[in-house]
Structure 1
Amino acid sequence: MEIKGGRVVLRPVTDDDAGVLREIIREPEVAAWWEQVEDFGEMLAIVLGEGQVVGAIQYDEELDEDYRHASIDVFLSARHHGRGLGTDAVRSLAGWLVRERGHHRITIDPAVANGAAIRCYEKVGFKPVGVMREYERDPLTGEWRDGLLMDLLARELTR
């Protein structure tokens, strides 16, 4: 499967991607929000932008018809922050989840303190739902930190 966005391409992770993904996830700007991952087989897709691997994105699905929705997680190399590639990756995957997988609602859950991620998701159409107190452990300090639950309804997805 390959998903083409306006500026990025999402494609399956291969064994050859592991080295560059380890480098990206160890960058201080990424490591502050993501725990170290050794097995990238769980990742849905590599984010290709500007002709190179710039990060990874994944999704999960709740398939119970009464609660059906999907969730997204993403990280990009700090060298590519602020260029709109993350926004395009999230928008592209969200669009695919709506069109191809039939989801009407998508969630994402950045740390409350991750303002850059929150702004990125808002550009796609995600809206804050509420703060989940002491939601996750900080990967660097081990302290509990709050998460912001955001969701996006299919009709709110910006193009």
Structure 2
Amino acid sequence: MDTIQGDRVLLRPVTPEDTPELRRILAEPEVARWWHHQEEFGDMLAIVHEGDVAGAIQYFEEEDDDYRHASIDVFLDPARRGKALGVDAVRALARWLITERGHHRLTIDPAAANTAAIRAYEKVGFRPVGVMRAYERDVDGRGWHDNLLMDLLAHELT
């Protein structure tokens, strides 16, 4: 993959030079609350806005023809929130997964308490499917929290 162009962001493979900035973003309390520590960023795409790395996004594909779909994960620098960059990044990747990779269904699974992320995903067209109870280990490793399973069918992409 080369790049994916959104309306306001560019998605491109993460380079070694991006690592310090991505680690800085992940260390921000608003991001660290939801994201586990990342050692490697090789399978992620950098979210670039106005020439600077603003976060990262990744996808996973289920290849079994009977269950084929893709899922998305994203994090964004809190200093860049409020500009719809996350919405643009998710929408651009979703469009690419549908048009270029042939997926008819996408999923995303934010923590149920992450209302800002949920609102952003709804703007792309994702809809709540259900709560996955005690789905993900807390970042501190001491407990579990619920996540909201959301999905998007190809014709629902806004």
TM-score by length of structure 1 reads: 0.97
- In structure 2, C-alpha distance between the alignment counterparts of 1:31 and 1:140, rounded to whole Å: 10
Contact 2:132 2:149 in 1 (8 A): yes
- In structure 1, C-alpha distance between the alignment counterparts of 2:71 and 2:85, rounded to whole Å: 19
TM-score by length of structure 2 reads: 0.97
- In structure 2, C-alpha distance between the alignment counterparts of 1:34 and 1:108, rounded to whole Å: 14
In structure 2, list runs of 5 or more residues that go unmatched: none
Bigger mean CA deviation after superposition, 24-33 or 48-57: 48-57
The Cα shift of 1:91 comes to 0.1
Contact 1:31 1:140 in 2 (8 A): no
SS in 1 for 2:24: helix
The Cα shift of 1:141 comes to 5.5
- In structure 1, C-alpha distance between the alignment counterparts of 2:75 and 2:140, rounded to whole Å: 16
The Cα shift of 1:81 comes to 1.4
- Which amino acid letter does the alignment assign opposite residue 5 of structure 1? G
Partner of 2:68: 68
- In structure 2, C-alpha distance between the alignment counterparts of 1:141 and 1:61, rounded to whole Å: 27
Partner of 1:57: 57
SS in 2 for 1:135: strand
Partner of 2:107: 107
Partner of 2:36: 35
In structure 1, list runs of 5 or more residues that go unmatched: none
- In structure 2, C-alpha distance between the alignment counterparts of 1:87 and 1:150, rounded to whole Å: 15
How many residues matched? 157
- Which amino acid letter does the alignment assign opposite residue 50 of structure 1? E
**Greater than 3 Å deviation, 4+ residue runs:** none
Matches within 5 A, 1:130-141: 130-140=130-140
- Which amino acid letter does the alignment assign opposite residue 63 of structure 1? E
Q: What's the RMSD between the two structures over aligned residues?
A: 0.8
Partner of 1:48: 48
The Cα shift of 1:143 comes to 1.5
- Which amino acid letter does the alignment assign opposite residue 144 of structure 1? W
- Cα deviation, 1:55-79, whole Å, max 9, x if unaligned, reads 0000000010100000000000110
- In structure 2, C-alpha distance between the alignment counterparts of 1:89 and 1:139, rounded to whole Å: 24
Contact 2:13 2:43 in 1 (8 A): no
Partner of 1:16: 17
- Which amino acid letter does the alignment assign opposite residue 38 of structure 1? E
- In structure 1, C-alpha distance between the alignment counterparts of 2:57 and 2:113, rounded to whole Å: 20
Identical columns (%): 65
